Amino acid sequence: MTLLSLRAGRLAVDLAPDAGGSIARFAVEGPGKDEGDLLRPATDAALASGTGMDTACYPLVPYSNRIANGRLGFDGDLFQLARNWPGIRHPMHGDGWRHAWQVLHHERTRAELVYVHERGVAGVDWPFRYRARQVHVLDETGLTVELSIENLEDRDVPAGLGLHPFFVCDADTELACRLAGVWRTDAEVLPLQRVPVPPEWEFSRSRRVEGMGLDHCFDGWDGEATVTWPQRGLRLVLTATEAFRHLVIYVPDGQHHFCVEPVSHANGAIGQTRLAAGATLGGEITFRLVQI
């Protein structure tokens, strides 16, 4: 497995193009109480799998989250998609994380990756052709990820995108963000009903995330969230451009990581999106570090 290294000041990013175009590691290096991983590091086994499933962060293209029973309806057509995630009967998180990405450019602080999705190829299930692109740019204060999807069909298609980072979660780690609504879900994490954010899931003031047990999609996000590690004296400000106005927050029980995922559409709503022939949907997500 070949990794692409980006370095700027004390920040280090390792990319894994062959493992779903994922980030294998994002860390602060060098002496100091803030030293250490910001995202959970990928293990050798995770990288050897050839997917981004258990890495530090992977792209979500051409959709985020689950498609119930694999039944995708769009413009009067119904497409049946196969399962793609172990132990889950609903196709999840698209195709990008399952395939190798081509390296178009790599230097010390910047890398550009692309994945071209064709129909009729073994292991390819999504019925529409597209081209996904990631550009990672690292400087001494943080990482910016430019993410886009281009419709290669001569017709409108459903299309979405997002990013799935796994932040390190210590006992005192906090999250803050402003949100308007949330989808309650069934036992299989499929959306049931949108409701105003209840007090128990309110993040307008920074609060500890450990033990919350969340796995929900929120809307009305203003494009900024902060992750704080008080003992490390470190805060990460996550910002996203207009393409990403939904936020999936995933806090699994008993794990030392949690996810704050900027995405372009609500869970289960990919069939309601539309990208014109030849058009591109894209935006930027930035991870900016601040000492506290």
Q: Report d(CA 177, CA 179) in Å as an integer.
A: 6
Closest CA to 145 of 131, 164, 126, 160: 164
Confidence of residue 124 (pLDDT cuts 50, 70, 90): low
Q: What is the pLDDT of residue 194?
A: 97
Q: What is the pLDDT of residue 125?
A: 84
- Please provide the distance, in angstroms rounded to a whole number, between the alpha carbons at the two ends of the chain: 37
Task: Read off the pLDDT of each residue in 270-284 and give the average, rounded to a whole number.
Answer: 98
Indicate if the alpha-carbon torsion angle 14, 17, 21, 22 is positive or negative: negative
Structure token digits, residue 120: 């009729």
Q: Is the pTM of this model over 0.85?
A: yes
Checking if the pLDDT of 172 tops 70, the result is yes
**Domain limits for position 191:** 4-291
Task: Read off the pLDDT of each residue in 88-98 and give the average, rounded to a whole number.
Answer: 95
Confidence of residue 122 (pLDDT cuts 50, 70, 90): low
The tally of domains found in the chain comes to 1
227-to-212, 240, 289 alpha-carbon distances in Å: 15, 14, 10
CATH code, domain with 103: 2.70.98.10
Q: For 14-61, write each residue's pLDDT tens digit.
A: 999 999 999 999 999 998 899 999 999 999 999 999 999 999 999 999
In 81-206, which residue ranges form alpha helices assigned H by DSSP?
none
Q: What is the pLDDT of residue 2?
A: 87
Q: What is the pLDDT of residue 290?
A: 95
Q: For 225-266, write each residue's pLDDT tens digit.
A: 999 999 999 999 999 999 999 999 999 999 999 999 999 999
Checking if the pLDDT of 134 tops 70, the result is yes
Task: Read off the pLDDT of each residue in 164-193 and give the average, rounded to a whole number.
Answer: 96
Task: Read off the pLDDT of each residue in 197-210 and give the average, rounded to a whole number.
Answer: 96
Q: What is the pLDDT of residue 54?
A: 96
Listing DSSP states for 84-116 in one string gives: -BTTBSS-BSBSGGGS--EEEEE-SSEEEEEEE
Q: Report d(CA 102, CA 238) in Å as an integer.
A: 26
CB 58, CB 20: distance < 8 Å? yes
